[in-house]
Each structure stands twice: as C-alpha cells, then as structure tokens.
A and B are shown apart, each in its own frame.
Chain A
C-alpha cells in the first residue's frame, strides 16, 4: 500500500524556519517525481515545488522561490522541504504527493502537516 506521511509542521514565528519531511513507503520511491502542495486554511490548493525522481530537476512557485528548498534522499525514501524566512502567508497545510510518471499528476497524497506562522 502506498503511504506518504508528512511531519515537521508546527507553530513558528515570522522570519523563522521549519523543515518538513515526507516518509514514503509501499512503492519504489526512487522511481517517482514528487510535489509539495499547500492549502491555506479555508482556501484552495497551491502548488509549491517539484523534484524529479533523481533530484536533478527542481521547480518552485514564485511565492516560495529563494526561501524554500526541496530535496530528497532516495536511500531513505524521504522527501524534504526546508522553509526559511517564513511569513504569515505561508500558513497552510502542506501535502507531499507522488506524481504519475506518464502524466505528472499527483495520484497519491499524504494527509498533510500544518504549518502556522504567527507571533
């Protein structure tokens, strides 16, 4: 069974940092590209970042470029998102999602980890 479990969310002050993790199991993690997608409370979905299966291709939304860093450890079946210089606009549920190789749509999602940026 495919499982994606996010962790690392919590309350952080504006300007602070947080590192999110996503533990993958039930599939060959090294064979799949991954996304981070976020959802502010009561709002819609916003794509945040993409990383290819090998980690050599990475994209970011303009809203996080220069502040967030996506990475993966295929040996540990783990995806990460390092978030720096956080603002209240980064408050959201953060989901990791597996991408279908042929279409790059997200077929499996974790349950999310909540990040709250507040003083």
Chain B
C-alpha cells in the first residue's frame, strides 16, 4: 500500500498570506495525485487532480505542483473560506490512499 504523509499536521496562517502544504508518497504515484478540501460537517471537495489541474470552479489561488513522490498545494492570498482540512490522495494504485490531512487554521 502506498502511504501518503502530509506536513505539517496544522498550519497557522493569517488571511491574505500564502499557505504551502506538502504531501509525500512512499513510492512514486506519477502525477496521479489529488487534493481535497473538507470543512466541518461537510463532504470533501475536489480541488486538484493530476497533481496540478484545478477542478471545475476552483479559484486560481489554489495551485498544485509536483510529481513522483513529492507534491505541494499552494494557496496564495488566503481567504476566510479557505480555512479547512486538506487531504492529498493517490489514485495510482489500489488500494487508494489518503494522507492524514493538514488543518489550515487562522493565525
């Protein structure tokens, strides 16, 4: 099973600043990496697939990058609605696996 490790577990950032979230895979997943955002009491929302392709309706302040084993989600100029938990997810091999999540909180 491919283990996905996210860092940091919690990230405190002020509104308007940039946030950088990391995700590492225990083996190469190519570009088969997605990012999801989840707010309390809500289902996850797809942000990024293919490591860098924004899903429909996702603002351009969300940028995904990386390939192989190292991936980054960058959120430029944080808005109040961006404070949430973010999960990376590999769909390269079965079983599908998720990272443990990064909680982005207001500083």
| Bound pair (A, B) | yes
Chain A contacts to B: CB under 8 angstroms: 35, 37, 44-47, 50, 59-62, 95, 100, 103-107, 109-112
Taking CB atoms, residues of chain B closer than 8 Å to A37 are 44
Q: How far is the CB of A56 from chain B (nearest CB, A)?
A: 15
Q: How far is the CB of B19 from chain A (nearest CB, A)?
A: 19
Taking CB atoms, residues of chain A closer than 8 Å to B24 are none
Q: 17 additional contacts, CB 8 Å, given A44-B98, A45-B89?
A: A44-B99, A45-B36, A45-B38, A45-B98, A59-B95, A62-B95, A103-B50, A103-B91, A104-B91, A105-B34, A105-B46, A105-B49, A107-B56, A109-B43, A109-B44, A111-B42, A111-B43
Q: How far is the CA of A50 from the CA of B49 in the complex (A)?
A: 18
How many of chain B's residues have a CB under 8 angstroms from any CB in A? 25
Q: Mark B1-13, 1 if CB is under 8 A from A, else 0.
A: 1000000000000
Q: How far is the CA of A104 from the CA of B32 in the complex (A)?
A: 9
Max chain B Cβ within 10 angstroms of own Cβ: one of A35, A62, A104, A110: A104
Taking CB atoms, residues of chain B closer than 8 Å to A60 are 95
Q: Mark B94-107, 1 if CB is under 8 A from A, else 0.
A: 11111111000000
A interface majority secondary structure: strand
Max chain B Cβ within 10 angstroms of own Cβ: one of A46, A95, A109, A110: A109
Q: Mark B42-58, 1 if CB is under 8 A from A, else 0.
A: 11111001100001100
Report if A44-B87 is in contact (Cβ < 8 Å); known contacts: A95-B43, A111-B43: yes
Taking CB atoms, residues of chain A closer than 8 Å to B99 are 44
Q: How far is the CA of A37 from the CA of B98 in the complex (A)?
A: 10
B46–A107 CB distance below 8 A = yes
B98–A46 CB distance below 8 A = yes
A selection of 6 A-B contacts at a CB cut-off of 8 Å is A44-B99, A45-B87, A45-B101, A47-B95, A61-B95, A95-B43
Q: How far is the CB of B22 from chain A (nearest CB, A)?
A: 16
Q: How far is the CA of A61 from the CA of B1 in the complex (A)?
A: 10
